[in-house]
Structure 1
């Protein structure tokens, strides 16, 4: 069991999905490049590997930032600025907070299951993409993806120092869409899907590759009563 803080900030402006990398760069510069959690670069050649605790999102059509656990402690570096005017390329953008929500969540493996949607999930590295393509059976492909998704949850747990002491169960119920998306000057396969697990995951949490740029965003499917 682990308690984490989870801060979600939505700004009153509009961006396109392809502008998220520029939004990340502009915010990191505004916060100060010496604050590594905003961009995960130790220097020009070295990256800070591990789970990104500051993630950049598109919430509706608005730019947003999600800060997870100790990532919350650094957000003041952005808001210490008198002006939150930034530039996305040549386009000026003024960041006014539209919605700010701070929560504390308890991470644990439960006896019950939770249902989720997962958007733009970058599941496959170059190595496991080849392995995935060689699998002919749809059921075996889903099993392959389920193992990767459990690994992504464990990577998140490690990133926030949550010691998972029970077995994670997970089932992909439906793959809604697969598509090629641009990621760091290449095209990668992304999945939209529904899954269930005995792990509670907060809305807007990122799983998999590219979470700092809004890929692999989780949304819980609430029971209708």
Structure 2
């Protein structure tokens, strides 16, 4: 079973930022266009967080800032593209001298071929519950199996966000190749992972999987 989704990627090639600056992009654009749509900041009108897969994501890959929209988020970014004249981050103003927009359509679902994906930004696959279970497990095969199950569940959660529920006979196969890394998130040290995976699942380039994808974590690209 497969279906098609639409993405819009906006990049600012003349501005260079650090990967950790992605959350600053989210804060800036979420405030700048707050009245346009809650999709930009993933909060309800009450101010509460909206617990759904974010349809607008903020990333820095290869030092280049990027906004990625999916389906309604893609349409929203297309409508706002011409309005972006500058970025204001940490008290600094970056004039937008050039910007690129790319609209694409992607198949998602299980494929008959295998595809290799690389994490362009660190993958935060562990939440509070499974982090404790992971640390209590001996390093080696058992930890890899746990991470593999989490990576598959990340893909299934992504599909579910677009109402794609795979029939039982269509299983996601996945081989994970990752290494432990340490990162700071909300002023705390967090365990994250670099590397990639091989799978029969189809994914659009630059979508995020795992935790904190709106802030740029877990961004994948097909190799």
> TM-score, length-normalised on structure 2?
0.90
Contact 2:107–2:203, Cα closer than 8 Å, also in 1:
no
What does residue 112 of structure 2 align with? 111
Gap runs ≥5 in structure 2: none
- Size of the aligned set, in residue pairs, is 218
Matched, 1:167 2:171: yes
After superposition, the C-alpha distances for 1:111-159 in whole angstroms (9 at most, x for unaligned) are: 2211111230001111111100111141111110011011111111111
In structure 2, the CA distance between the partners of 1:16 and 1:126, relative to structure 1 (3 Å rule), is same
What does residue 207 of structure 2 align with? 205
Matched ranges for 1:147-158 at <5 A: 147-158=149-160
What does residue 14 of structure 1 align with? 16
What is the RMSD computed on CA atoms of the aligned residues? 1.8
In structure 2, the CA distance between the partners of 1:104 and 1:204, relative to structure 1 (3 Å rule), is same
What does residue 144 of structure 1 align with? 146
What is the distance in 2 between the residues matched to 1:9 and 1:157?
23
Deviation at 1:80, TM superposition (A): 5.5
Deviation at 1:33, TM superposition (A): 4.3
Contact 2:107–2:204, Cα closer than 8 Å, also in 1:
no
> TM-score, length-normalised on structure 1?
0.90
SS in 2 for 1:108: strand
What is the distance in 2 between the residues matched to 1:19 and 1:44?
26
Bigger drift between 31-40 and 64-73 goes to 31-40
Structure 1 segments of 4 or more deviating over 6 A?
none
SS in 2 for 1:75: helix
